[in-house]
Amino acid sequence: MWVRNRTLPLLLALVALIALHPLFMDTISDRPSPLFPLAFASVPLFGLVVLGSWKRALPLVAVFVGMIAWAWFGYRFDLEAISKSPLELVATAYFAYATIATGAVVLRSTAVLDDRVYGGLAVYLLIACMYATLHRHISAVDPNSYWSTTDGKACHLEWDDALYYSCMTITTVGFGDIVPRSSWSRAATMLEAASGVFVTVVFIARLATTPSHPGTPKHPTA
């Protein structure tokens, strides 16, 4: 079953990243360590490698290595400087590519039904991660872009805040403790909410129309 469900490791890695992200927080400063964005970026790469989609994984490997080199030589892993730089937008594009590549594998898959379900959930969470990088960048460039209703002041989104806000937005839960204030933050929030609905509809339709072939659990490698 584990061999069949090759999308399951990616889903578990994403869930673990979200659930265990407090372990990457500095207990003194209450800010994430540089290891958090590194682990954050490693997950989609891990997912494509596990799926065996090497042609799609190779560009991701190149971008991943390039981002690490850029972060070190350009910013010495200064998370605040990175969040304001074009590198953060490259990270958004990195997650967008990983999401599309994983989605293409899942949508074309002839694997068992539960494998496609795991893959659909993984794509959903990858989109949340992608938008988290965008919310983080918007907040860093304009600290007044997001507002904390609990504190009654502008909210500068750290990595953990951006991930939390993104998950609340894509699921349309919206507790209201953080709200978008600038035009760019509102645009990103609206796009993410729409993306969550769109992806849900697409994958439900795909699951309903694509037959399951339990005897031939395959993933395309091209």
pLDDT digits (tens, 9 = 90+) for 170-200: 998 888 999 999 999 999 999 999 999 999 8
Asked if residue 152 lies in contact with residue 159, where contact means CB atoms within 8 angstroms, the answer is no
The answer to whether position 221 is within a domain reads no
Token pair of 7 as six digits: 């999308």
For residue 222, count CB atoms less than 10 angstroms from its CB and return exposed for 0-12, middle for 13-18, buried for 19 or more.
exposed
Return the beta strands (E) in 114-170 as ranges: 146-148, 153-154
Return the beta strands (E) in 122-190 as ranges: 146-148, 153-154, 178-180
Q: In whole angstroms, give the CA distance from residue 62 to residue 76.
A: 20
The pLDDT of residue 110 is: 63
Q: Using the predicted structure, report yes or no on whether residue 57 has a pLDDT greater than 90.
A: no
The answer to whether position 220 is within a domain reads no
Show Cβ contacts of residue 201 under 8 Å, excluding neighbours closer than 6 positions. none
The pLDDT of residue 2 is: 43
The pLDDT of residue 96 is: 96
Q: What is the total residue count of the chain?
A: 222
Domain containing residue 119: 8-209
The pLDDT of residue 222 is: 47
The answer to whether position 218 is within a domain reads no
pLDDT category of residue 3 using cuts at 50, 70 and 90: very low
The answer to whether position 32 is within a domain reads yes
- Residue 210 DSSP symbol: S
The pLDDT of residue 211 is: 61
* Percent of the residues in the chain that have a pLDDT greater than 70, as a whole number: 89
Looking at the structure of the chain, the number of domains it has is: 1
